[in-house]
Amino acid sequence: MLIETHGADIYSAAEKAGIKENNIIDFSSNINPLGMPESVKVAAVNSIAYSDRYPDINSRELIRGISKFENVPESWIFAANGAAEAIYRIVFCLKPKKGLVTAPAFSEYENALNMIGAQVEYYNLREESDFKIQDDILEHINFDTDIVFICNPNNPTGQLTDMEMTEKVIDSCRQAGSAVAVDECFLDFVKNKEEYSSVKFLGKYDNLIVLKAFTKIYAIPGIRLGYCISSNEQIVEKLKMSGPPWNVSSIAQASGITALKEKDYIDRTVEYIIEQRKYLIKELNRLNIKTYNSCANYILFKIQYSLDLKDEMLKKGILIRSCSNYKNLGENYYRIAVKTSEQNQIIIKALKEVIGG
């Protein structure tokens, strides 16, 4: 049986379309269009020479780098084999009986909760509110709620939750005895990200866990590297014990240590994403496609046509993300990444050919 994923499965897409993977333009995965920094490539290649020995089981140098980058103590940090591993470890170590997730949102929160038999409750984000979290989410946080997952910016909508709303959720969870995990894996693509990051709340709330990833912003999904931060050091220690050791390879550690020094690369990325996202939204709107106010490196949109847009685009060698399997979305919703200027022009041209305009 083949594993089904939420996106980025160019292998199955290539098999279905009868073409090679390298001939597919993948708009289904939200990876930095500037590509992997050259310094990270060099670090990854050089680290192979040391792959004849076990990696540092404690990721010491990497965690020192993250500590400096995030301005938090080293003892608050857990390094993971991608953010997905961190999500599953959080669930495995806290063993919640009931979890609250927003809908739509990243499916791995729900999948992890289902894996341990936890009850999953959904807070439906409303289209008329531009899919933004409203105050009524607090009504869903009760003493039987063990954990709440918040994605900021949300995937797939790209919406940001402001700090006032986020702190209301964290504080309500603390009063209810609940943990809250805030997924900030796409926040590095946002201008003035510090205004929206929950890292500033870590010292104040010991029920808070913030998730981060190198995968998207540094364009290294094949290397697998993420981390989470909590001022609750007992949670951090439980995270370390909730899965197998040596979870972060030598190659991943070396890549992360180097990536953390690439500040100019991040600044260039943010400006590029803003420019190209504006272009895509403008062109989509010209095609009478409804878009939403994304602040991330991807765009959720809704078509008014009765056709399988993902299938039609694949015929043109373009893979997009159908959002039909997201909770609280329908078959007419799709998500595309913001890619290079050339690739963005290609997808707009293809869309015009498929739906007219």
Q: pLDDT digit of tens for each residue in the chain (357 aa)?
A: 434 555 556 667 656 656 656 678 999 999 999 999 999 999 999 999 999 999 999 999 999 999 999 999 999 999 999 999 999 999 999 999 999 999 999 999 999 999 999 999 999 999 999 999 999 999 999 999 999 999 999 999 999 999 999 999 999 999 999 999 999 999 999 999 999 999 999 999 999 999 999 999 999 999 999 999 999 999 999 999 999 999 999 999 999 999 999 999 999 999 999 999 999 999 999 999 999 989 999 999 999 888 999 999 999 999 999 999 999 998 999 999 999 999 999 999 999 999 876
Spatial CA neighbour of 145 closest among 111, 96, 94: 96
Other beta carbons within 10 Å of 245 = 11
Pairwise CA distance, residues 97 & 56, whole Å: 34
Predicted pLDDT of residue 14: 59
Predicted pLDDT of residue 3: 41
The two most distant CA atoms of the chain are separated, in Å, by 58
Place of tokens 């996202």: 277
For the chain, give every domain's residue range.
10-30+263-355, 38-259
- Provide the edge-to-edge strand list for the sheet that holds 321-322: 290-291, 298-302, 333-337, 321-322
Q: Tokens representing 82?
A: 């991608």
Buried b (16+ CB within 10 A) or exposed e, 68-107: eebebeeebbbbbbbbbbbbbbbbbbbebeebbbbbbbbb
Predicted pLDDT of residue 2: 37
Q: What is the pTM of this model?
A: 0.94
SS (H, E, C) the chain: CCCCCCCCCHHHHHHHHCCCHHHCEECCCCCCCCCCCHHHHHHHHHHHHHCCCCCCCCCHHHHHHHHHHHCCCHHHEEEECCHHHHHHHHHHHHCCCEEEEEECCCHHHHHHHHHCCCEEEEEECCHHHCCCCCHHHHHHCCCCCCEEEEECCCCCCCCCCCHHHHHHHHHHHHHHCCEEEEECCCHHHCCCHHHCCHHHHCCCCCCEEEEEECCCCCCCCCCCCEEEECCCHHHHHHHHHCCCCCCCCHHHHHHHHHHCCCHHHHHHHHHHHHHHHHHHHHHHHHCCCEECCCCCCEEEEECCCCCCHHHHHHCCCEECEECCCCCCCCCCEEEEECCCHHHHHHHHHHHHHHHCC
Q: Nearest-5° angle of CA 214, CA 219, CA 224?
A: 50
Q: Please, what sign has the CA dihedral across residues 100, 108, 333, 29?
A: positive
Q: Nearest-5° angle of CA 172, CA 84, CA 186?
A: 70
Pairwise CA distance, residues 36 & 217, whole Å: 9
Topology of domain 10-30+263-355, per CATH? Aspartate Aminotransferase, domain 1 (3.90.1150)
Spatial CA neighbour of 152 closest among 143, 144, 163: 163
Task: Judge contact between 215 and 256, C-beta under 8 A.
Answer: no
Question: The domain 38-259: what is its CATH number?
Answer: 3.40.640.10
Predicted pLDDT of residue 16: 66
Spatial CA neighbour of 318 closest among 350, 345, 287, 341: 350
Pairwise CA distance, residues 66 & 334, whole Å: 34
Pairwise CA distance, residues 45 & 344, whole Å: 30
Strands 290-291 and 298-302, sheet pairing: antiparallel
Predicted pLDDT of residue 344: 98
